[in-house]
């Protein structure tokens, strides 16, 4: 298996599992009193990451997309590149008070910011910057069997 497809499958599985875990009240803690107000109830998954039902559904969708995209190298590349853009935007939104809840719908603040930016950076590297030969799982050494 190659690096790009492994990355896609791993992130797909992780985000799908996180989406499921977000629906378990026992894994949630109440947000602090100074946390941004939301139009729907939310909590902190593992006491760290603010999530609500809509946020969980987004994780499930992105996770399922990754699991399905894993089957094809081009779909995997599109997934990684899309995650890079989506999570970079969400990470930036987390810094902007008017957008850090996407108008009260999805919490994007606190520890979500660094997690989203880390995901964006990893996805950007794998999807855009990693050499195609490395993405395909081939060695990047020059072919010494050909003579000039």
- Predicted confidence at residue 140, as pLDDT, reads 47
- b (16+ CB within 10 A) / e for 111-139: ebbebbbebbebbbebbeebeeeebeeee
Residues of the chain falling short of pLDDT 50? 139-143, 146, 148
Instruction: Say what the pLDDT of residue 148 is.
Output: 47
pLDDT value for 79? 97
DSSP code string of 103-139: TTTS---THHHHHHHHHHHHHHIIIIIS-HHHHTT--
Number of structural domains the chain divides into: 1
The pLDDT value given to residue 38: 84
Within a domain: 56: yes
140 domain residue, yes or no: no
**What domain range includes position 37?**
3-135
pLDDT value for 87: 97
Residue 147 lies in a domain: no
pTM of the shown model:
0.84
Q: Does 143 map to a domain? A: no
In a domain? residue 148: no
């Amino acid at each position: 298996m190659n690096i790009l497809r492994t990355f896609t499958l791993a992130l797909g599985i992780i985000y799908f599992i996180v989406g499921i875990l977000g629906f378990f009240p026992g894994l949630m803690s109440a947000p602090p009193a100074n946390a941004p107000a939301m139009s729907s109830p939310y909590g902190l998954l593992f006491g760290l990451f603010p999530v609500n039902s809509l946020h969980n559904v987004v994780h499930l969708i992105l996770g399922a997309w990754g699991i399905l995209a894993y089957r094809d190298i081009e779909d995997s590349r599109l997934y990684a590149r899309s995650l890079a853009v989506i999570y970079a935007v969400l990470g930036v939104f987390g810094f902007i008070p008017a957008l850090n809840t996407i108008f009260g719908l999805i919490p994007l603040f606190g520890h979500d910011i660094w997690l989203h930016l880390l995901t964006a950076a990893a996805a950007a590297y794998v999807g855009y910057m990693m050499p195609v030969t490395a993405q395909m799982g081939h060695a990047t050494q020059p072919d010494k069997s050909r003579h000039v």
